[in-house]
Amino acid sequence: MLSARTVHPAALTLDEVSAWSALVVAEPAFGNPLLGPDFSIAVGVVRDDARVTVYRDDTAIVGFLPHHRRPGGMARPLGAPLADYHGLIAGPHADLTADRVLGLAGLSAWRFTGLVDPYGVFAEATAGEAYGYAVTLTAAPTDYLEGLRAASPKRFKNWRRLDSKLEREVGPVRIEASDDPAVYEQIMDWKREQLIRTGVADFLRPDWTRDLLANFATARGPLRGITLTMWAGDTIAAGHFGVAQNGWYHPWVASTNPALGEYSPGQTFLMKAIAAMPGLGLTTYDLGPSHDHYKRHYAAPTQRVGEGTAAASTPAGVLAGGRERVWTLAGARRDGMVASLRRRLDAIAVTELSTAGRVRGFVEAVAAQPRRRLATMEGE
């Protein structure tokens, strides 16, 4: 018989953490560090409302659902919007249906935007699909870069031109993994400026996201933060910050030096970062799932992810499911205004913890629409 208990991540037992780690190792789709127990435990340090439902059958632990619980039993992915990938971490188990998973957790509905679901537990609730993009090296990085050149010679030639121009006019270009707090803060400052300028929801404003990233920046455990920077001479040109575990790097923050905009340093950065992966101990550089079309020029679509809402067969679940279907029909075109606003409201709902913060975010979202359209046209 299937049973479950729901706890704060800090209350997970050693046996439960071990079982979770074993499930991740057994299924390649769960390879991203955001799907392992260490990420959920880290989120629990900064969020009192973090929860993990642990599922058991008569003989063993069979699954884990990390989430944040909202009023009415509505759940969001644990750590969102930083949880770019999320899902039910489990093996193939016949009793793990969407309705049973939610019912045993006491949830009416679960809204997901980057669902990893290798066994199709939430297939019927998935309203849209996209891909996560990752650079996975199986040979020398020179071979990977040669593949990019062969696939798009004109684009590759332009990358080389920008690289040479930056080297010639600013200074020698190199990639470094830095533990200097000042470098980390600079990357964050440039990102905040970009978010304000382009009207994107500021996921760096709430205390909990800043604290979570800062904690990772100084972490030295198996799951650790990496500030990866590209220098031109003595000047930082661009950088990424994210987490790495078992050779898999997942950056959350990508920013560039505004003073070097004419060199498009973000493009050169990715080329240099791919070349530097072996020296950094990385085999996978995961750019994550999103609607940013630039990613396909550097990375392969290696992970299918789902978006939708799973609803329990309860009155509250039926009501939540109905609301979601209205949104889905209204935003059927993912590039339309309604769909764009829905993604913005999703980001606000999972980032801002107070009613006042959500109201402020909604007002800012409406006011930012002209800036977002302009930034999209300009390629930001």
Assigned domain for 259 exists: yes
Average the pLDDT over 90-109 and give the result. Answer: 94
* Sign of the alpha-carbon dihedral angle for 238, 270, 201, 48: negative
Domain that holds residue 155: 138-282
Query: Is residue 278 included in any domain, yes or no?
Result: yes
Residue 339 sits in the same domain as residue 271: no
Contacts of 116 (CB under 8 A, 6+ apart): 29, 30, 32, 35, 85, 86, 87, 303, 305
Same domain for 260 and 174: yes
Residues 342 and 265 in one domain: no
Residue 148 forms part of a structural domain: yes
Say how far apart CA 298 and CA 48 lie, in whole Å: 38
Per the CB < 8 A criterion, the answer to whether 57 and 93 are in contact is: yes
pLDDT confidence tier of residue 294, bands split at 50, 70 and 90: confident
Clarify whether residues 221 and 351 are in a common domain: no
3-state secondary structure of 272: helix
Q: What is the pLDDT of residue 380?
A: 53
Say which residue, 170 or 359, is predicted with more confidence.
170
Looking at the predicted structure, is the pLDDT value of residue 150 above 60? yes
Q: How far apart are CA 260 and CA 376, in angstroms?
A: 20
pLDDT (mean) for 353-376: 56
Tell me, yes or no, whether 151 lies in a domain: yes
DSSP structure string for 203-235? TTSSHHHHHHHHHHHT--SSSEEEEEEEEETTE
Three-class secondary structure of residue 312 per DSSP: coil
CATH number at residue 275: 3.40.630
Ramachandran angles phi, psi of 116, nearest 5°: -105, 115
State whether 246 and 345 are in the same domain. no
| Residue at which a domain ends, from 250, 282, 314 | 282
| One-letter amino acid for residue 202 of the chain | D
Closest CA to 73 of 104, 106, 48: 106
Indicate whether 156 belongs to any domain. yes
What value does the mean pLDDT of the chain take?
87
Say yes or no: 271 and 167 in one domain: yes
272 lies in the same domain as 371: no
**Residue 4 maps to a domain:** no
Same domain flag for 278 and 158:
yes
Where is the domain boundary, 248, 266, 282? Answer: 282
Looking at beta carbons, which pairs linking 312-317 to residues 24 or more positions away fall under 8 Å? 312/73, 312/99, 312/102, 312/103, 312/107, 312/108, 312/109, 313/99, 313/103, 314/103, 314/108, 316/72, 316/73, 316/108, 316/109, 317/73, 317/102, 317/108, 317/109
The reply to whether 157 and 260 lie within a common domain is yes
Q: Give 29-76 pLDDT, tens digit per residue.
A: 999 999 999 999 999 999 999 999 999 999 899 999 999 998 889 999
pLDDT grade for 378, boundaries at 50, 70 and 90: very low
CB 101 within 8 A of CB 125: no
- Count up the domains in the chain and report the number: 2
Residue 55 lies in a domain: no
pLDDT at 333: 44
Structural contact between residues 239 and 212, judged by C-beta atoms closer than 8 angstroms? no
Pair 262, 154 in one domain: yes
Q: Both 274 and 338 in a single domain? A: no
91 domain residue, yes or no: no
Q: Are residues 145 and 236 in the same domain?
A: yes
pTM of this prediction?
Answer: 0.88
- Model confidence over 176-228: pLDDT tens digits? 999 999 999 999 999 999 988 887 778 898 999 999 999 999 998 999 999 99
Q: Look up residue 86 and give its DSSP letter.
A: B
Give me the residues paired with residue 232 across strands.
173, 235
* Residue 366 pLDDT greater than 70, yes or no: no
Using the predicted structure, report yes or no on whether residue 360 has a pLDDT greater than 80. Answer: no
